[in-house]
Amino acid sequence: MTLEVSDLRVYYRTLRGDVRALDGPTFTVADGEIMGLAGESGSGKSTLSKSLIRLDGRMRYIGGSVTLDGDEMPIWDDRAMDEFRYKRVSIIPQYAMSAMNPTRKIGKMIAELLESRGVRFRDVRDELHRRLELVELERDVLDRYPLELSGGMKQRTVMVISTLLNPSLLIADEVTSALDVSTQRAVAETLVEFRDREFVKSMIVVTHDISLVYQIADTIMVMYGGRLAEKASAKTIIEMPKHPYTKMLLDSLPEVGVKYEDKRLSGIPGSPPGLLNPPQGCRFRDRCPLADKQCLEQPPFVEVESDHHVACWKAE
């Protein structure tokens, strides 16, 4: 197992109390696995992905553990985490378009970054050139400033930078959300290629676009209200979901070949729970058509079939 996360709790500190954005998920990501992480805004997917590499100033580590290739990552200790960052766990940020210092030539910035991490730029330069070629970028982007590149070029450059040191785990945070549809597809395919060429061992692809993640992910994990709802292979999640939330989420996607003239595309009624004082029991209870008294107790995240985990009392 590349990544093992166990009962991880990360809260946001606010004046009115703790917001339980990430409330104890336990899961694993296998070697070579591309896991899609889906959920709506406020489901905790961004908090989870950030927690694995760098907590921002408002996030507070409460408990739980994260193990990468058998070593526990000190995610509560910003300084100690530096050792893991980039070399063993890396990120392609959501804001790839503005992730590079606008006043430095890209090549110079990469060199400075690598040297600061104790890696000789000379030793990786050839590999860098090869990988730029792989994503169809000219070598001379290294002599340019970020604003001389188009959005898609910046995105690909950042993908190459982030994976240059062959990390075990790569977090791709909403990488496609700022791109047009045709570029989205290319970016998604590049991610798969990076895994196939073993630039990265495993990957977590955070997205709210289930249809896109279905094309590239081996497994999909669905989060709701700071907890895990369901995790299974991508095919199983799409074709035979068990959690009512997953079902409703999939039902709200448009289907090819169906005209929505007569039938309105339905969303999920209601809104996600506030996580400042989350409701007791299952957090989907208020919006769930199947909810009953049993749901006042929190359902455990259990394996109901081989490699199919669900947190729901009603899942058969």
Partner 1 sequence: MRKYFGRKIFVYALTFFAAVTINWMIPRLMPGDPIKSRLARASLNDAGAAEALYGYFNKMFGLDLPLWQQYLNFWVSLFQGDLGISIWNFPTPVIDLILGAVPYSLGLLLPSIILSWLVGNWFGAYAARSKWLDNTILPIGYILTATPYMWLALLLAWSLGIVAGLFPAAGSYGLSLQPAFTWTFISSLLEHWFLPFLSLFLVALGGWAIGMRNMIIYELESEYSNYLQALGAPRRLIRKYAFRNAMLPQLTGLAVQLGTVVAGALLTEIVFSYQGLGYLILQAIQNQDFFLLQGTFLFIVIGVLIANFIIDIVYALVDPRVRVQMQGGAK
The contact set with partner 1 (CB under 8 A) reads 53-54, 81-87, 90-91, 93, 95, 98-105, 112-113, 116-117, 145, 147-150, 158, 161-162
Q: Which residues neighbour 211 within 8 Å (Cβ) at sequence distance 6 or greater?
A: 253
User: Which is closer to partner 1, CB of 103 or CB of 266?
Assistant: 103
Query: What are the beta bridge partners of residue 203?
Result: 34, 170
User: Which is closer to partner 1, CB of 177 or CB of 294?
Assistant: 177
Nearest distance from C-beta of residue 50 to partner 1, angstroms: 9
User: Which is closer to partner 1, CB of 112 or CB of 303?
Assistant: 112
Nearest distance from C-beta of residue 178 to partner 1, angstroms: 12
The number of angstroms, rounded, from the C-alpha of 207 to the middle of its chain's C-alpha atoms is 6
User: Which is closer to partner 1, CB of 30 or CB of 99?
Assistant: 99
7 vs 78: CA distance, rounded Å:
20
Nearest distance from C-beta of residue 111 to partner 1, angstroms: 11
Nearest distance from C-beta of residue 206 to partner 1, angstroms: 14
Nearest distance from C-beta of residue 128 to partner 1, angstroms: 15
213 vs 78: CA distance, rounded Å:
30
268 vs 122: CA distance, rounded Å:
53
Exposed / middle / buried, residue 22 (Cβ in 10 Å: 0-12, 13-18, 19+)? buried
The set of long-range contacts for 245-252, using a CB threshold of 8 Å and a minimum separation of 24, is 245/284, 245/287, 245/288, 246/222, 248/287, 249/38, 249/40, 249/210, 249/222, 250/210
User: Which is closer to partner 1, CB of 82 or CB of 305?
Assistant: 82
User: Which is closer to partner 1, CB of 102 or CB of 257?
Assistant: 102
Query: What are the beta bridge partners of residue 227?
Result: 224
Nearest distance from C-beta of residue 88 to partner 1, angstroms: 10
128 vs 265: CA distance, rounded Å:
46
